[in-house]
Amino acid sequence: MRRAELVFIPTPAVGHLASIIEFAKLLLDREDRFSITVLLINPPFPPTFDAFIQSIAASHTRIKYIYLPQVDPPPEEVFHSSVEKFVTDFIESHKAHVKEAIISSVLSNSIPLAGLVVDMFCTPMIDVAHELGVPSYMYFTCNAAFLGYMLYLPTRHDQVGVEFSESDPESSVVPSYVNPVPSSVLPTFTFHKGGYISMVNHGRKCKEAKGVIVNTFHELETHAFSTFLDDGIPSVYGVGPLINLKGQTNSEANQAEHDKIIEWLDDQPPSSVVFLCFGSMGSFGASQLKETALGLERSGHRFLWSIRLASPPGDEKIPAPSDCQNFEEVLPVGFLERTREIGMICGWAPQVEVLAHKAIGGFVSHCGWNSILESLWHGVPIAAWPIYAEQQINAFQMVRNLGLAVELKLDYRSGGEVVAAEVIEKAVKCLMDGESEVRKRVKEMSGESRKAVMNGGSSFASLAQLIENMLGCNVVAKE
């Protein structure tokens, strides 16, 4: 039996790392001939993901982790100008270290190298694959429609030569989206030269890969997959949903909070609680928190609300949300007392376990793709409240194209105008409507998501084709 080694290169961010590791675990579960080496780029700023790596390393011995040497990040002003350019430039500065690590720690082994699997922001490493004479595969943590958007950018750029402008037509026809995409929901990077050019280059580089692996499934994004049949686009493999159903390993402090949250949910009626959670980097200022509290209270629904505070204005450091030390300081006077029978406020929350709980009836979410897949898996409808990155166009896709979410504020952006309590109240009431068409569609899609990964399902079959592709290629043996 011929063995094969794959080298994975993830973006140093927890959402990207967790998703690509789930794919690595799935690949090893399906194919005994693979072993995997993950090259870890140290994050340019806290937090580190050491605890996450330690939690999975012991249980998956066929995954080897190698930390690359520390590299100075680009200047902070690049981050504030364009996160996409900052991340892309930072990762590109690791190319020599990646090549050296592969030569010294992978090619020196007896198992031949079958290829590199690079995250969507790590496409500069496709050059390393070319230099080593092995195939490359891009792992795309977002959805298939957004993959289509990234592939569309180079074509558009060749025609117009500049980034998008506020004066452009109100909507853009992007083949992978059913409806024209309003300018108001395009990712922020499309309007800023540095980030725009970075993403154009990722789109170009993607076409040099032998295949693109996407954490989605055909039944969810049938239209997007139908647009990947043109010449020049590599094979696209939908292998999702890839979800860690056990959740992340908790620290001692988080375990206590976890138990407190689950015990509270155990006491609530089925499908009665709306869960508000906005991802590892999602946060709001005091004014928005107050409006959200008023909207929740007026809705009359039970709630579990994970609150993270935004960095203070004028902070020159790279912003990261912080836990609130005193909820009374940032919420309306008397709110905690008035809602203590129906609501729970927390900082960190075990999102996967919460969404799986029978008490949860709705999810007010930032529409990060991992969160969307988790909510669909558990049949929990979403009220879309995007904040940054590609979340606005994800929200548009879920609400307008797929009918799988309720609109709260599709064009909201971090630091934007405060969303009024009336808007939040209306969205929560619509979300928690037990007979809504959205809720019915989400329940149906939940069943489709589970079928997709089972034997005979679309993602199960797509993964089999990918494995055949990987093992059928020429491999580089020990030199």
Chain-centroid distance, C-alpha 202: 17
Cis amide bond preceding 74, omega within 30? no
Range(s) within the chain of domains with CATH label 3.40.50.2000: 4-240+453-472, 253-447
The reported pLDDT for the residue numbered 316 is: 47
What are 179's two structure tokens? 């409806």
* Axis-axis angle for helices 14-30, 369-377 (nearest 10): 50
Nearest alpha carbon to residue 53 among 35, 41, 45: 41
Which stretches of the chain drop beneath a pLDDT of 70? 1, 47, 58, 247-253, 310-325, 473-479
The CATH architecture one would assign to domain 253-447 is 3-Layer(aba) Sandwich (3.40)
The reported pLDDT for the residue numbered 479 is: 42
Q: Report the CATH superfamily, name and number, of domain 4-240+453-472.
A: Glycogen Phosphorylase B; (3.40.50.2000)
Nearest alpha carbon to residue 55 among 220, 250, 209, 259: 250
Tell me the DSSP string of 230-293.
Answer: STTPPEEEE------TT-PPPPHHHHHHHHHHHHHHHTSPTT-EEEEE--SS--B-HHHHHHHH
Nearest alpha carbon to residue 3 among 31, 30, 41, 40: 31
The reported pLDDT for the residue numbered 253 is: 59
